[in-house]
Amino acid sequence: MTDPAIVVRNLSKTYGSGDRAVRALDHVSLSIEPGTVFGLLGPNGAGKTTLIKALTGITDITEGDASVAGFDIRRNPREAKARIGWVAAEVILDDDFTARENLWLQAKLQSLTNWESRADDLLQYFSLKDRADDKVSHFSTGMRKKLEIALALLHQPRVIFMDEPTIGLDVSTRRMLWDIVTQVHKEFQVTVLLTTHYIEEADALCDRVAIIDHGRILAEGTPSELKARVKADIVQLETSETLDPAVLAAIPGVQEARAQGNDWLIRVASSEGFLPQLFRTVRTDAIRRISVEKPSLETVFLEVTGRRIGEEEPMRDVRKFYMQMARARR
Amino acid sequence: MTLQWSPFWGLYARELLRTFRNPFVLLITIVQPFMWLAFFGSSFSAAPASVLEATFGTSNYIQFLLPGVLSTSMLTVGMFGSMSTIQDKRFGFMKRILITPTSKGLVFVTKALGSATRGLIQFPIMVAAALAFGISFHLTALEWAAWVATLMLLAIGFCSLFLAITARSTDWQTPGVVSNFITMPLMFASAALFGAKYFPSWMIAISDVNPITFSTLLGRSFVLGGAIDWSYFGYLAAFAGIMLTIGYVVSSRWLAVE
């Protein structure tokens, strides 16, 4: 059995002290198998970037342990960092240098010898060979991202950290980057830990996903496993007249129905079976709006955090609804 | 502590290459001391030769001033080194460096030595400018080398000082503020612009321990001739060594990453 690529045990990180102390990570534990693409999914401020900073050794760990590629990041930082690649949220290159010079500097920082052929192969792989001797300040965003990934791969790392790799990118560049991450992971056989607040990105790229919020890991599993936690479709219904809860509850397949005024959140086993029944039970002209949400990482996130990923503050009623349902299932 | 030669060479070369890739920095590095020489140096051009001889030991004030201007410009070099480090922090490049086996202490050493070396670009330009102003030089090869080494030691000391003071800062304005606190007192309380013999006693006390004074007097003895006190060189070597050590310790512990 191979050792995990990343092990995090009870890791906490607190910024500041006293009354102004902010706990960015709160007893996080993770074990990431080698060769996987692992996603940390959470909103801004959830602690994703702090975890990457802790695992790459650029911020101190307040409590707990972490090892990367078999080396404790606090006790053996140099050995760990020699096996780490890093792709930043914002592209970080030396704009005064050419693509090849950026690779040269990265090779020097990693004390590589005979790096040139590897650099040529990477430039070729990322279709940058023709522009190798151009200053990177003249590169498009997509080319700069590709070069940054080439820098991360130059020293044949065991683990690559990608911190919000597609943030701020247009749709086509984001898609291109998704393809690159998938290909790179297979081609170079590296473990990838990426952070994202894009649900679809985590779903499309990651073998396993951990949902993080307020510095805590709230759920972890494959996207399928996480979706299986939500064993129902969610129907949101707005009506123009008051409905009798008993009428809705009597429809076969309804697991839970809660209302705030005339706004309903109904958990059903299958929306395909539920909707025809609903239309037979409720006058269709009394239905103002109806929407169906199939199990997705979005609904998983909603269930475990009580809010949608883009929302700053929890929607109290929805949170309460999900919390109550979660408790009811236990 | 083992010196990591490969990242050392990479980061040191980066400091120098970036200077030549950035014409604006290069221009400022060269123009500023040149302006001092041209404008401040010409301020005594109408003074009687006998007055100049009596005051400065030469009838050409620019000849007197050149070693002083070169010495004080090493303070500016320290400020640029500090600004370059803050730029790396703000643009995230410091993270790129430190997510490799490269240590914070090594980053400091390469910044200090790189900035100091960059400062020496001024030397041949200023000597050429002085020649254009009619100064003649009668230095031996050893004296030329010693003069360059003197300025290098001074620059290493000041770069280290600036980098140590601004190790935790990520604010663009900090090097400028620090420069204002350091540059003016050290420049004026030294023998760089005038001899110290007419200073009040408190300024003489500062000047007597001011590394700019030691660098200026050593350079002046090369340019004007006369006895060379090599102990000044030892003093500057100690200044550079101590500042480098302090900067290394401070940066290893407190250098901010972003």
The mean per-residue pLDDT over the stretch A96-121 comes to 96
From CA A292, how far away is CA A266, in angstroms rounded?
10
Q: What is the mean pLDDT of residues B113-127?
A: 93
Could you tell me the residue range of the domain that residue B107 belongs to? 5-254
Sheet strands side by side (includes A254-260)? A254-260, A263-268, A233-239, A287-293
pLDDT interval class at A3 (50, 70, 90) = confident
pLDDT tens sequence across B171-217: 999 999 998 889 888 999 999 998 888 899 999 999 999 999 999 99
State the Rg of chain B over Cα.
19
Q: Residue A111 is nearest to which of B96, B101, B257, comparing CB atoms?
A: B101
Percent of chain A at pLDDT exceeding 70: 93
Whether residue A321 has pLDDT greater than 60: no
Across the interface, do B95 and A92 touch by the CB < 8 Å criterion?
A: yes
Say what the ipTM of the complex is: 0.89
CB contacts < 8 A, A to B, total: 71
Chain A nearest CA to B161, separation (Å): 24
Q: So what's the pLDDT on residue A328?
A: 57
CB contact under 8 A, A108 and B11: yes
Nearest CA to B240 out of B221, B203, B215, B205 is that of B215
Percent of chain B beyond pLDDT 70? 99
Q: Is the pLDDT of residue B235 over 50?
A: yes
* Whether residue A4 has pLDDT greater than 80: yes
A253-303: pLDDT as tens digits: 898 888 888 888 888 888 898 999 999 888 888 899 999 988 888 888 877
- Give the CATH number of domain A6-227: 3.40.50.300
Gap between the Cα atoms of A58 and B240, Å rounded: 29
- Give A320: exposed, middle or buried? Use CB within 10 Å, 0-12, 13-18, 19+: middle
In chain B, the residue whose alpha carbon lies closest to the alpha carbon of A77 is B101
What integer pLDDT is reported at residue B41 of this predicted model?
Answer: 85
pLDDT score recorded for residue A143: 94
Q: pLDDT value at position A233?
A: 87
- In the sheet that holds A63-68, the strands lie side by side as A22-32, A6-15, A63-68, A71-72
Gap between the Cα atoms of B131 and B144, Å rounded: 15
**pLDDT for res A168:** 82
CB contact under 8 A, B10 and A108: yes
What confidence category does residue B168 fall into, taking pLDDT thresholds of 50, 70 and 90? very high
State pTM to two decimals. 0.86
Mutation for B interface: A108, A110, A134, A135, most B CBs within 10 A: A108
Token output for A63? 């409590």
Cα separations in angstroms, A170 against A43, A47, A174: 19, 25, 6
What tokens does A183 get?
């290909």
Condensed to tens digits (0 to 9), the pLDDT of residues A180-214 reads: 999 988 888 899 999 998 888 999 999 999 999 99
Q: What is the DSSP string of B149-196?
A: HHHHHHHHHHHHHHHHHTTT---THHHHHHHHHHHHHHHHTSSSSS-G
Domain count, chain B: 1
pLDDT of A32 > 70? The answer is yes
Q: What is the pLDDT of residues B35-92, one digit of tens each?
A: 888 888 888 888 888 888 888 888 889 999 999 999 999 988 899 899 999 999 999 9
Domain extent listing, chain A: 6-227, 229-329
What's the whole-number average pLDDT of chain B? 91
Mutation target for A interface from B5, B12, B24, B96: give the one with most A CBs within 10 A.
B96
Q: In this complex, is the C-beta atom of A114 within 8 Å of any C-beta atom belonging to chain B? A: no
Is the model more confident about B160 or about B121? B160
Phi, psi at B178, each rounded to 5°? -60, -40
Split at pLDDT 50, 70, 90, the class of A314 is very low
Q: Which of A81, A101, A104 sits opposite B100 (nearest CB)?
A: A81
- The verdict on domain A229-329 having CATH code 3.40.1130 is no
